[in-house]
Amino acid sequence: MKLLNRYIDHTLLKPNATKQDIIKLCDEAKEHHFYSVCINSSYVALAKAQLKNCEVKICTVVGFPLGAASTHAKVEETKQALSDGADEIDMVINVGFLKSKDFDAVWKDIEAVKQQLPNNILKVILETCLLDEFEIIKASELAIQSGADFIKTSTGFGTGGATINDVKLMKSVCKDCLKIKASGGIRDQKTALAYINLGVSRLGTSSGIAIIKGKQSNSTY
C-alpha cells in the first residue's frame, strides 16, 4: 500500500473559501505531501502559483456541485481550468439525464469533457446519494464507456457522502478497468483505511491532516 497521505486529495470546495484559505490549503498539502489539492476552478491559477516546483497536483471540479450545467459550459470550464494549470478534473454527471434514462446524453457529456484532456486525469462524480443501485451501476458503466480514468462517489454537497456499499457496487462494475475515488464523510483514519482496503485509489477529504495523524475531524466534507 502507498503511504496514506498519497491517497489524499486535500479538499476545500466551500463557496466562502477565501484566497488566504486556498494558500493555507496549498501550504498544508506541501507540508504533508498530499497527492493533490482539490479546489474550485476560480482558484486554479492561485494554487498553481503556490505549488510551483512542487509534487502536489492541482485537481479542480467542473459542473460542480449539481452537474446540471450544459455540456458546452462544462467543456469551457475544463478548458479554462487546464489553461490555468489544473492537472486533474473532477466533473459531476448530469444526474437528471441519468434518472431520465437518457444514457446517450450522459456519456456524451462525459466524453466531451474527456476529449479536452487526453493526457490528464478525469474523475466522474456520480453523486451516489441521489442514485439507486441500478443507477450507480449504470453511471459507472457510462463513465467507463466515455473514457473516464476514475469514478468518484460524491460532491460532498449532496444528501450524503461515500458509503461502503456504494463503493462495492462501483468496484463490481469497474473491477480493474478504472479507479475509484471515495469522497464525502471521510473524517478519520479507520474510515479512510476501510475504503483503501476495498480498492479505492484516492480519497477526497478536507480531513486529511486529522486522518494521517490518527485523529477525528469535525469537518463536514
Give pLDDT tens digits for 30-49: 999 999 999 999 999 999 99
**Could you report the per-residue pLDDT of 164-208, keeping only the tens digit for each?**
999 999 999 977 788 999 999 999 999 999 999 999 999 999 999
Q: Is 181 a catalytic residue?
A: yes
Would you call 90 a catalytic residue per the annotation? yes
pLDDT (mean) for 19-36: 98
Distance of CA 179 to CAs 102, 175, 202, Å? Answer: 24, 8, 8
Within-domain flag for 152: yes
Q: Is 219 within the bounds of a domain? A: no
Known active-site residue 152? yes
Q: Which pLDDT value is given to residue 109?
A: 98
Q: Is the pLDDT of residue 118 over 80?
A: yes
Q: Give residue-wise pLDDT tens across range 144-163.
A: 999 999 999 999 999 999 99
Residue range(s) defining the domain that contains residue 193: 4-212
Q: Write the CA distances from 49 to 43, 56, 89, 100, integer angstroms.
A: 10, 12, 18, 42
From the list 186, 148, 145, the residue with the least C-alpha distance to 166 is: 186
In a domain, 61, yes or no: yes
Q: What are the grid coordinates assigned to 217, written together?
A: 475531524
**pLDDT score, position 11:** 98
Is residue 220 assigned to a domain? no
Q: Say what the pLDDT of residue 200 is.
A: 96
Give domain status of residue 221, yes or no: no
Residue of 146, 160, 158 whose CA lies nearest to 116: 146
Measured distance between the N- and C-terminal CA atoms of the chain, rounded to whole angstroms: 24
* pTM, entire model: 0.96
Q: Is residue 217 part of a domain?
A: no
Catalytic residue among 9, 90, 109, 149: 90
Question: Which of 114, 123, 138, 152 is labelled catalytic?
Answer: 152
pLDDT of residue 1: 62
Amino acid residing at 147: G
Domain count, the chain: 1
Q: Is residue 29 part of a domain?
A: yes
Per residue in 86-116, pLDDT (tens digit) is: 999 999 999 999 999 999 999 999 999 999 9
In a domain, 145, yes or no: yes
Average pLDDT, the chain: 96
Which position has the grid cell 462524480? 125
Give the CATH number of the domain where residue 105 resides. Answer: 3.20.20.70
